[in-house]
Amino acid sequence: MSLNEDYFARANQVIPGGVNSPVRSFRSVGGTPYFVSRAEGPYVWDSEGTRYIDYVMSYGPGIVGHSHPQIIDAIQQASGNGATYGAPTLAEITIAEQICKRVKGVEMVRLVSSGTEATMTAIRLARGATGRDKIMKFSGHYHGHADSLLAAGGSGVANQGISGSAGVPKSAVADTIVTPWNELPELNESIAALILEPLPANMGIVPPSPNFLLELRKACDSKGVLLIFDEVITGFRLSKGGASQWYGVQPDLWCFGKVIGGGLPMGAYAGSKKIMSNIAPLGDVYQAGTLSGNPIATAAGIAQLQILNNDAAYGALTESARNLSDGLSEIFKNAGIEAVVPRVGTLLSIFFTKSNPINFDQAQLAAENGMYAKFFHGMLKRGVALAPGPYEALFPSLAHTNEVIDETLEIAKQTVTEISQSI
């Protein structure tokens, strides 16, 4: 038994499924998870000392690479002053000011401890601000594991073959309306909010059709519906101002996570002063968190945003993503394997199908044909770690140099050759 197998067996005795987040279980691809012992730059090392080029990057937070010296230094300095206080800090103000400065339309920010907290509270805020109960979401868009948002979600829900979740009463989703992605929904005055990933990345990369977000903005305005952008993945990744800057469309509320924590647990929701003033202690919409604005997490987040505070960083990220996407596409084409590699800016994914999916139904068909698992394991055994699920994006970082991308593509060529010979 390998050390990874031993660890997984031990984990299964004390942790449900052996993991603390379902997608890590390898359930959708088969096999045994690798247990990471350390990470640096574009690499992770497992418990057996095997090095992998990492495109998981903790599903987004590792945008500047693992163990970046500036972030590590910020964490060490902050932790030397204590882990948590239950009182306000200057760092909370600093990161909120940075978010307001970077994202046009954001005037106030409330820090929380996860993306799920951010989306859950944004929904509550929208209901409180409008006096309406119903919300609308798109199928395949994942907004965390809050009860009302688990209906027809992507990412881990889709990877596990779970339709919603047991333990969620019908009453919790009774006011949640699910509508197909890339089709303009019918809104009415009973709906408090429309929440979406402006660039869906939890069912693979399935971009909005041209002008779709603008049409949603207009439709929401016509019915008094608040538009919520879940930018937990896209926030500060697509651009300095996230997806709202990238697409030129401003929502009423934003949800952030991943990048803003610098690798530590942190999320945020944000919007105008008018809407955010409905949150306690100013208003009647209650939300609290003992560890919200944690001083170590805010220090890490401030450091990461500082590294990303220039156009050159996003240019480098986009170039890496483009080279990886173009290279993979050429490899699949030359091998005669039906595959597409959709990319928007710094984000990309892989679908083993003829054409880019435009909705969740098409993404599911592409994800469930068994090809991704073959590619995943072929890459893994050669030293490249992709997400163990066909619905996830690839996350190149500033540490993924041209040399690292070239090595990845050479490994992909070997993997695809092996697959083509077996089918």
Active site residues: 142, 230, 258
Residues paired with residue 177 on neighbouring β-strands, in sequence order: 136
Rounded to an integer, what distance in angstroms lies between the CA atom of residue 342 and that of residue 170? Answer: 36
User: Which residues, including other chains, have CB under 8 Å from residue 34's CB and lie 6 or more apart?
Assistant: 4, 46, 47, 50, 52, 380, 385
Report yes or no: 252 and 93 within 8 Å, Cβ to Cβ: no
> Of 372, 246, 236, whose CA–CA distance to 308 is shortest?
236
Would you say 244 and 104 are in contact if contact means Cβ atoms under 8 Å apart?
A: yes
What residue has token string 């394991």? 377
Rounded CA gap, 234 and 92, in Å?
Answer: 21
The C-alpha atoms of residue 379 and residue 388 are separated, in whole angstroms, by 11
**CA 379 and chain centroid, separation:** 22
Cis geometry, peptide bond prior to residue 281 (ω within 30 degrees of 0): yes
Cα gap 339→349, rounded to integer Å = 10
Residue 155 in tokens: 């990412």
